Amino acid sequence: MTTLYYAKATCAIGIHVLLEEIGKPYDLKIVDFSKAEQKTPEYKKMNPKGKVPALVRDDGTVLTEFAAIATWLAMTNPDKKLIPTDPEGIARSIEALDFAVGTLHMLSWRLWRRPDAYSANADEHEQLKTRGREAVLAGLEVVDAQLAGKDFLIGDFSIADAALYYVEYWASDIAGWPLPTNVQAHFERMKTRPSVQASRKQEGVA
């Protein structure tokens, strides 16, 4: 059985959503970051990167990194239509996903959430957090324009929306920041999906 190694309030949320969208049996293994379980020899033997998500597939091989896992899930479950089949659609879905994961998450949110990862000087942390918040909100304004007149990022629901959802969840539910109009509408739309409701139950939010 496919197993997702998952930690709360991480990008693994988006992969959990995609597994729920697919609807096949899977196992969810919780990695407790508060206990540094991602750094244990047992976990790092399975995933030397020491982070989540990590997907152990039916054949026992391990796949890591959000974009790789999401793309593999979509392409091995074509009936769920989680990624377009035409070259332009594939490129656009990965473009939107990469902006969420690479820019909104790694270059922006992480700066706000983990300023200590960028500077050992505690006096600089508030300035770093401010820059991170500004970068997330500026990036969401870009996404807001992309969502104008659309329910989802590339028209129909795709892997890109699962990536955007976890950023929306962080910004709104964790940080308490106001989302731009179209992004807020997308967030509310996502919360009506059974897959997202299952994810939110796992996260312990309404």
pLDDT digits (tens, 9 = 90+) for 18-67: 999 999 999 999 999 999 999 999 999 999 999 999 999 999 999 999 99
In this structure, the answer to whether residues 96 and 179 fall within a common structural domain is yes
Q: Please tell me the distance from the alpha carbon of residue 105 to that of residue 64, in angstroms, as a whole number.
A: 16
Q: Where are the beta strands (DSSP E) in the chain?
A: 2-6, 26-30, 54-56, 62-64
Q: What is the pLDDT of residue 153?
A: 98
Domain count, the chain: 2
**Residue 48 CB neighbours (<10 A):** 10
In this structure, the answer to whether residues 62 and 15 fall within a common structural domain is yes
Q: What is the pLDDT of residue 66?
A: 98
In this structure, the answer to whether residues 182 and 125 fall within a common structural domain is yes
State pLDDT tens for residues 119-160. 999 999 999 999 999 999 999 999 999 999 999 999 999 999
In this structure, the answer to whether residues 76 and 92 fall within a common structural domain is no
**In which band, very low, low, confident or very high, does the pLDDT at 11 lie, cut at 50, 70 and 90?**
very high
Range(s) of the domain holding residue 176: 87-193
In this structure, the answer to whether residues 185 and 154 fall within a common structural domain is yes
The answer to whether residues 94 and 84 touch, using CB atoms and an 8 Å cutoff, is no
Q: What is the pLDDT of residue 206?
A: 79
Give me the phi and psi of 134, to 5 degrees please.
-60, -40
pTM tops 0.95: yes
